[in-house]
Amino acid sequence: MIIQSSFKPAWWLRNRHAQTIWPSLVRIRPKITLRRERLELPDGDFLDLDWTEDHNGPIVILLHGLEGNNNSHYAKTLLKHLDQNNFQAVMMYFRGCNGEVNRLPRAYHSGETGDINFVASQLTQRFPDRPVYAIGISLGGNVLLKWLGETGMDNPLDRAIAISVPFELAKAADQLNRPESKIYQRYLVNKLQNSLRQRLAKMRLPIDDVKALSCKTIREYDELVTSPLHGFCNADDYYQKSSSRQYLSDITVPTLIIHSRDDPFMTKDVIPVEKELSPEITFELAGCGGHVGFITGAIPFKAQYWLEKRICVYLKEHLSNCDSQSSKP
């Protein structure tokens, strides 16, 4: 079902760009102790996980956005908030996003679900008596929703949350190339190209690296790099097969999707309609919130970050339901 979000933007941050840019520029990353774990993968590569302290409570997997890491504005703040609410959070780095070049030419992309499937399976086997949840941010949200739809009843999660998801990748790429959003595209392309340079210094890749390092748009990068490295015919083939919108009706895990109509990374027509959603999806739609913004607060420059609180409320609802059911005779 689609519901109106309770989120109300700060009156001094009502612009979608202000909501998007403010936390990246202004928000202070909190200090938090994280434990790094390396997982060896079946294909010979590896993934890194950053764990918060063990509370013996539910496990929450965090999937970051494009070229994200634990310094992304939402990462440490969300990890700390979960930790303070007695969840044990674990951030899964997509391949190459941990600051170290991976072993294989392949990397990650918006539709690559094998790694999260492996990690979730490992964690549910390791902690069979603890609920396992997942939160996906932006690209990570697309990966999460696609995986939930692909696996259906076989998915091991107890609950999931996806935030600011690019449900249709082609439309998101086109939106990022429009004048009002090119600032975000340039930032993301620069980060992708910096990561590519690091990989090229370590290994040969079957791509035209000169063109890839000089391209200007997300679509060009996906045509020159993402598609050939991951078995797609071209960018359009990648976008069509990897977009999460077509998987929403097959999701069987209770899932909260939080989205804003004014997200500058995409157009309003990527927002699914009610008939596309499975009965297990609650789609919480805000009028203003930007891309992974959702900043409220009555006093200027004293921002309050609504997302963390909403996430914990939703996850605690599952725990309350479990407790009430277990207490029944």
Q: Catalytic amino acids?
A: 138, 263, 291
Residue 251 is given by DSSP the state: -
Using left for φ > 0, alpha for ψ between -120 and 50, and beta otherwise, residue 232 falls in beta
- CA 158 to CA 13: how far, in whole Å? 35
Instruction: Tokens for 154, please give them.
Output: 């076989």
Distance in angstroms (rounded) separating the CA atoms of residues 137 and 156: 19
Query: Could you tell me where the beta strands, DSSP code E, fall in 138-222?
Result: 159-163
Tokens 């203003």 — which residue? 288
Helices (H) and strands (E) in the chain, counts: 11, 11
Residue pair 304/295 in contact (Cβ under 8 Å)? The answer is yes
Residues whose CB falls within 8 Å of the CB of residue 130, separated by 6 or more in sequence, listed in order: 56, 57, 58, 59
State the sign of the Cα–Cα–Cα–Cα dihedral 195, 70, 139, 232.
positive
User: How far is 157 from 10, CA to CA, in rounded Å?
Assistant: 34
